[in-house]
Amino acid sequence: MNAFWIILTGSLVATCCSLLGCYLILRRMAMVGDAISHAVLPGIVIAFLFTGSRDSIPMIIGAGLLGVLTTFLIEFFHRYARVQADASIGITFTWLFAIGIILISVFAGQVDLDQDCVLYGEIAYVPLDLWLTEDGLSYGPQTIWTLGFVTILIIAFITFGYKELFLTAFDPGYAAVIGISTTLWYYLLMTAVSLTTVASFESVGAILVVAFLVGPPATAYLLTDNFKTMLIFSVIIGIVASIVGYYLAYWLDGSIAGAIATVTGIQFTLAFLFSPTHGLLLKNRKTMAV
Amino acid sequence: MQEFLEFFSFADANIRYVTIGSVLLASSSAVVGCFSLLRKRALVGDAVAHAVLPGVCLAFIVSGTKNPLILLLGAFITGWISLVLIDYITSRSRIKEDTAIGLVLSVFFGIGILLLTSIQHSGNAAQSGLDKFLFGKAASLVGEDLIVFGAVAILLLITTILFYKELKLLCFDETFAKSIGFPVRSLELLLTTLTVFAVVVGIQAVGVVLMAAMLITPAAAARFWTERLGVMLVLAAVIGAFSGISGAFVSYTAPAMPTGPWIVLIVSMVAILSFAFAPKRGWVARMLRRRHNKIQILEENLLKLFYQLGEQHEDYFSNRTLDNILTRRNIPKSQALAGLAKLKRQGYIQRHPDGWALTREGEIRGKRVVRLHRLWELYLTQYLQLASDHVHEDAETIEHIITPELEQKLMEELNYPALDPHHTRIP
């Protein structure tokens, strides 16, 4: 049963992240996703200080705000202070992450958080934290409920906003002409990324979020030229990574999040070498045949 | 104050170690970071920092010891591989650089975490402390570490100084460097190696996540204060050293405080202040300059209007009412009034009961703007063969920018003309 809960958690995170990641990598913003996943730390800590618990909702709000703030700061430094785009990403997230760690140290007595937990989480504890009702009924692990809710939210966001997200990513000029606000959808996408990060940080940590945001979409990108297919492929790839990763970790007796990230790397390598359309080896053979 | 003196007397050997260590690490990575920043590869350092972890773990698994030299070697190898992989992925597939960086970063780190936890669970007692690579422990630097890291940091600085000219050319004009026979490939390799070294060493102070800041942030801050690479390198090193000392000081006065994050926090504050207030490139300076330009353009446009009104009847010093002025050009009323008030204070116009009139100085300045406008129109039609009805817009902008030297040059080029393309007189 534990294996089932852990793999389910991994798959839920994989679904959210892979879907959003497809947009991020096509917008060339993969590193913004990385930045947000680290920069939400002070938001989590502040929410923790205000409520004194690991309640999901205040944390999601706190971290969501920080995520939007991160995006805004990156834009601000880049556009108004003319800092190079990549430098502005690096400076913003390290700064916010440092603030987060300092906050943790200042309130060490009151905050039951530490930075390793934020970085690589502990998915193995998911089944332990059950949601129990007053009469002792168990509804399964809490994390599953939070993540399930976020996953539904993200899927709804992508389904209903499909046209807007698609146009603002691929043809911002046309989007603006037919009256879709590029800025609004940009910030909505970033809010969704922060939401996902926060919902998954406790269980899988920032690193796995980045691995899922970038890995499966990049692999899918090498396998197909159709955007809808890419979305579906990346979700499947993410779920497969969760399953294989779990057993790899079990075998090596190591961190599950680390193992899943490793598997996404292996998947990418396979696609990089053997993809029928864009793979290194098969592409070469095709040109040789011609 | 007591603590301040105690700290800066450096009497305590421990304080000495921590401070010297932090300063060396921070300033050497800042210097190398300048080159990564200028080559627009700021985030590569982040990837290397994460990729170091599996190397450290593998080195430990293979050697079974925590000898800093062996761990550094392992870290160096995987850090280096990660950079090569990023280049390879971007050049051999349609994956973009940011995706490649994110991918390499998370996968290498994932492998590292997997190995690290696997080692920790194996029950090997020697492993404890291996995870300090993750978060950095500047405050617990001891003599032996310090010698190794200090040596690497100094080596980095010396290499940078020795290859200063070559690296400079690589950053600013790679094509030229290639054409005059510089070994560009080897230089790139050298820079990669320097970056990996800087990261491997710097991680000791601030940990994996914050390492990117040690490379980029001082460099980005220094970039705002100067246009010269030499000055930028020195400034970045000074900013790095300053935050190193401050971080060590903070964790000395409050021992619960982590040194690394404080170093990063301080260096970020320096950077943000630089972005805002640096002369010339800073945000405030640019805002002021833009406002100043806007005001100057408004004033010159107003004086030009006075002059053009005067031209109609060869009568430059009569009164003009506000309506008079605004019929020729659509300036918002409040702006126009503010501009007129300013011009009056500067003595270019005089207030009369029913309007304003040019003074002698105002007439000269207005005349000059009109002359520049018409000279430029003529220049465009004669030298760029533009139609005479296409040149007005361009002249509207340039008339506020042309310097007296340029004006002289234009006059010479155009052979001291009398008429503009619309056959009006050039005053």
Query: Angle B48-B51-B53 (CA atoms, 0-180°, nearest 5)?
Result: 125
Whether the predicted pLDDT of B284 surpasses 80: yes
Please work out, in degrees rounded to the nearest 5, the angle formed at the alpha carbon of residue A57 by the alpha carbons of A55 and A59. Answer: 75
pLDDT by residue (tens digit) across A112-125? 666 566 665 666 66
Indicate the range of A34-48, A191-205, B182-196, B284-298 predicted with least confidence.
Answer: A191-205
Of residues B226 and A288, the one with the higher pLDDT is B226
Best of B41, B95, B266, B273 to substitute, by most chain A Cβ atoms within 10 angstroms, is B95
Asked if residue B251 has pLDDT above 50, the reply is yes
pLDDT in tens, A138-161: 666 777 888 888 889 889 988 888
* B339: Cβ contacts below 8 Å, ≥ 6 apart: B295, B298, B299, B302, B331
Sign of the C-alpha dihedral computed for residues A185, A189, A190 and A192 taken in this order? positive
What residue in A sits closest to B278 (Cα-Cα)?
A81
End-to-end Cα separation, chain A, in angstroms: 53
Mean pLDDT of B411-425: 79
* Interacting residues of A95 by C-beta distance below 8 A, sequence separation 6+: B213, B217, B264, B265, B268, B272
Mutate to test the interface with B, among A22, A26, A86, A234 (most CBs of B within 10 A): A86
> Stretch A273-286: mean pLDDT, rounded?
73
- pLDDT at residue B125 in the model: 60
Instruction: Please say whether the beta carbons of A257 and B109 come within 8 A.
Output: no
Query: What is the greatest pairwise CA distance in chain A?
Result: 72
Confidence band, pLDDT 50/70/90 cuts, at residue A284:
low
Interhelix angle A56-79/A85-106, rounded to 10 degrees, is 140
Average pLDDT value over all residues in chain B? 82
Which pLDDT value is given to residue B239? 92
Q: Are A14 and A216 in contact (CB under 8 A)?
A: yes
Instruction: Place A235 in a pLDDT band, splitting at 50, 70 and 90.
Output: very high
What is the pLDDT at residue A217? 92
Using the Cβ of A33 and the Cβ atoms of chain B, whether some distance falls under 8 Å is answered with yes
Centre a 10 Å sphere on the Cβ of residue A100 and count the other Cβ atoms it contains.
25
Closest chain B residue by Cα to residue A217? B99
Q: What ipTM does this complex have?
A: 0.88
Measured from the Cβ of residue B122, the count of other Cβ atoms closer than 10 Å reads 12
Identify which of B328, B283, B284, B334 has the alpha carbon closest to the alpha carbon of residue B303.
Answer: B328
Per-residue pLDDT reduced to its tens digit, B319-336: 777 777 777 777 787 888
> B265 and chain A: CB distance < 8 Å anywhere?
yes
**One-letter amino acid of B60:** F
pLDDT digit string (tens) for B347-377? 888 887 777 888 888 888 888 888 888 888 8
Helix segments in B254-328, DSSP class H: 259-277, 283-312, 322-328
For the record, the structure tokens of B73 come out as 């070697």
Token output for B267: 């260096």
Give dist(CA B242, CA B261) in Å, integer.
Answer: 14
Mean pLDDT of chain A: 81
Instruction: Give residue-wise pLDDT tens across range A61-72.
Output: 787 888 888 888
pLDDT in tens, A165-192: 888 888 888 888 888 888 888 888 888 8
pLDDT on residue B160: 87
Tokens (6 digits) for B58:
């593998």
Q: What average pLDDT does this structure show over B99-122?
A: 86
- C-alpha distance from residue B401 to each of A7, A87, B196, B363 (Å): 66, 33, 47, 19
In chain A, positions 185-224, which contact chain B (CB-CB < 8 Å)? 207-208, 210-211, 213-215, 217-218, 221-222
Q: Which residues contact B30 (CB under 8 A, 6 or more apart)?
A: B214, B215, B218, B219, B222, B236, B237, B239, B240
Burial tier of A34 (Cβ tally within 10 Å: 0-12, 13-18, 19+): buried
| Whole-number percent of chain B with pLDDT over 70 | 92
The DSSP output letter for B329 is S
**What does the pLDDT read at residue A125?**
62
| pLDDT value at residue A121 | 62
**Distance (Å) of CA B43 to CA A129, A273, B26, B36, B199:** 37, 26, 17, 9, 12
Chain B residues 354-393 with a CB less than 8 Å from chain A: none
Backbone angles phi, psi at A138, to 5 degrees: -110, 130
Q: Supply the pLDDT for residue A166.
A: 84
Give the pLDDT confidence of B4-60 residue by residue, as tens digits: 777 666 667 677 777 887 888 888 888 888 888 888 888 888 888 888 888 888 888
What are the chain A neighbours of B42 within 8 Å (beta carbons)?
A: 84, 86-87, 89-90
**pLDDT band, very low/low/confident/very high, at A262 (cuts 50, 70, 90):** very high
Q: How far is A204 from chain B (nearest CA, A)?
A: 11
Q: Binning pLDDT at 50, 70 and 90, where does residue A290 land?
A: very low
d(CA B330, CA A3) in angstroms, rounded, equals 74
Q: For A222, which of B93, B115, B262 is closest by C-beta distance?
A: B93
The minimal CB distance from A255 to the residues B113, B210, B216 is found for B113
Q: How many CB atoms lie within 10 A of CB A227?
A: 16
What is the pLDDT averaged over residues B250-254?
Answer: 79
Under 8 Å between Cβ of B229 and B34: yes
Question: Among all chains, which residue has been given the structure tokens 């404080």?
Answer: B262
A6-22 tens-digit pLDDT: 888 888 888 988 999 99
Average the pLDDT over B223-239 and give the result. 88
Query: Is residue B194 within 8 Å of B31, Cβ to Cβ?
Result: no
The residues near A110 (Cβ < 8 Å, ≥ 6 apart) are A49, A52
Average pLDDT over residues B109-123: 83
Query: What is the rounded CA–CA span in Å between residue A134 and residue A136?
Result: 5
Q: What is the mean pLDDT of residues A244-262?
A: 87
DSSP for residue A125: G
pLDDT band (50, 70, 90) for residue A236: very high
